[in-house]
A and B are shown apart, each in its own frame.
Chain A
Amino acid sequence: MGRTAAEWNAPPKFPATHYVDSRLYTDEAIFGEEKEKLFRPSWIIACHESELPEAFDYRLFTHPAGVPLIVVRGDDARVRAFYNICPHRGNTILYDPSGNAKRMTCIFHQWSYDTRGNCVDITREEQGYQNRFSKKDVGLREVKCEVAYGGFVWVNLLDDCVPLREFIGGALDILEPYMQEPMELFHFHKARVRTNFKLWHDTNSEFYHDYMHYFNRITGMLQPGYFERKYTPFPNGHATVGSMQIQYDKYEGSKERAVGWPKMARGGWYMVDLFPGMTYNLRTSVMRIDTSIPLGPNEVLIEFRGLGLKRDTPEERAQRVFDHNTIWGPFGRNLHEDLLGVTGQGRAMRKGTDSRWVLQGREENSTIHDEVGMRHYYAEWSQRMGRPAYAPY
Chain B
Amino acid sequence: MIKSEQRQAIEELVYRSCLALDSGDYKAFLDLCDEAFRYTITTHSAEIKRDMVWLDHDRKGMETLFTNLPHHNSDHSPLTRHATVYTVDLEGQEASVVSALQVFRTQLDGGATELFAVGRFHDTVKLDGGTAKLVKRVVRLDTRQLGYGYHIPF
CA distance A165 to B74 in the complex (A): 40
Count chain B CB atoms within 10 A of each CB in A51, A321, A331, A335 and give the residue with the most: A331
Contact B72 A337, beta carbon cutoff 8 Å: yes
Contact B75 A252, beta carbon cutoff 8 Å: no
B151 at the interface (CB under 8 A from A): yes
Cβ–Cβ < 8 Å partners of A329 in chain B: 54-55, 149
Binds A, one of B7-15, B22-30, B42-50, B81-89: B42-50
Contact B50 A253, beta carbon cutoff 8 Å: no
CA distance A215 to B74 in the complex (A): 13
B53 at the interface (CB under 8 A from A): yes
Count chain B CB atoms within 10 A of each CB in A51, A98, A253 and give the residue with the most: A253
Cβ–Cβ < 8 Å partners of A191 in chain B: 145-149
Contact B73 A331, beta carbon cutoff 8 Å: no
Closest chain B CB from A2 CB (angstroms): 23
Question: For the complex, would chain A's binding face be called helix, strand, loop or mixed by DSSP majority?
Answer: mixed
CA distance A321 to B45 in the complex (A): 15
B3 at the interface (CB under 8 A from A): no
Contact B55 A51, beta carbon cutoff 8 Å: no
Closest chain A CB from B90 CB (angstroms): 30
How many residues of chain B get a CB closer than 8 Å to chain A's CBs?
32
Contact B46 A331, beta carbon cutoff 8 Å: no
Contact A98 B151, beta carbon cutoff 8 Å: no
Contact A322 B47, beta carbon cutoff 8 Å: no
Nearest-neighbor residue (CB-CB) of B43 within chain A: A189
Instruction: Please tell me the size bucket of the interface on A.
Output: 35 or more
Cβ–Cβ < 8 Å partners of A187 in chain B: 52
Cβ–Cβ < 8 Å partners of A188 in chain B: 45, 47-48, 50, 52
Q: 1/0 per residue A36-74: CB within 8 Å of B? A: 000000000000000100000001000000000000000
CA distance A189 to B72 in the complex (A): 22
Cβ–Cβ < 8 Å partners of B52 in chain A: 186-189, 321
CA distance A332 to B65 in the complex (A): 10
Cβ–Cβ < 8 Å partners of A252 in chain B: 64, 67-68
Closest chain B CB from A298 CB (angstroms): 14
Contact B48 A331, beta carbon cutoff 8 Å: no
Nearest-neighbor residue (CB-CB) of B48 within chain A: A188
Closest chain B CB from A20 CB (angstroms): 23
B56 at the interface (CB under 8 A from A): yes
Known pairs A98-B46, A193-B148, A337-B72; list 11 more (Cβ under 8 Å): A190-B145, A253-B68, A325-B54, A333-B68, A333-B72, A333-B151, A336-B75, A336-B151, A339-B148, A340-B148, A341-B73
Contacts A/B (CB < 8 Å), 13 sampled: A188-B45, A188-B52, A189-B45, A189-B145, A190-B144, A192-B147, A253-B64, A253-B67, A330-B54, A331-B149, A333-B72, A339-B148, A340-B74
